[in-house]
Amino acid sequence: MEIISLFGSGTEEYYQFATKFFRIFLFFICINFIQPITSTFFTSIGKPIKGIFLSLTRQIIYLLPLIIILPLFFGIDGIIFAGPAADLIAAITCLITISIEFKNMKQLELVEEHQNIHL
């Protein structure tokens, strides 16, 4: 209630909605660390396009369309669920992208080892 009252005061319905909103919207906040780490990783290994793409996934590529589309089906709850859905989809996108990159790096390492053995 104290945090909610920072944003305004209102009726009991206001506080109930705000509590519901905070609980749902922040549900997957704990996985938000994945996106900036993977974005920075790709930028640091010389793949800035992948880094830029991953940095845009949560806020631009997924959240904005979900904020527009989900309310058409779920009303105001669609806006509330857009945040956690974008968090989850962005995390999955990052995990898939990074696992593919690690697999490619491992294959490249094996090829280089094989070439060094034959020299």
pLDDT value of position 99: 97
Distance CA 114, CA 119 (A): 9
pLDDT value of position 68: 96
pLDDT in tens, the chain (119 residues): 677 777 777 788 888 888 888 899 889 989 999 999 999 999 999 999 999 999 999 999 999 999 999 999 999 999 999 999 999 999 999 999 999 999 999 999 999 888 888 76
Q: What angle do CA 115, 45, 38 make, to 5 degrees?
A: 125
11: left (phi over 0), alpha (psi -120 to 50) or beta: beta
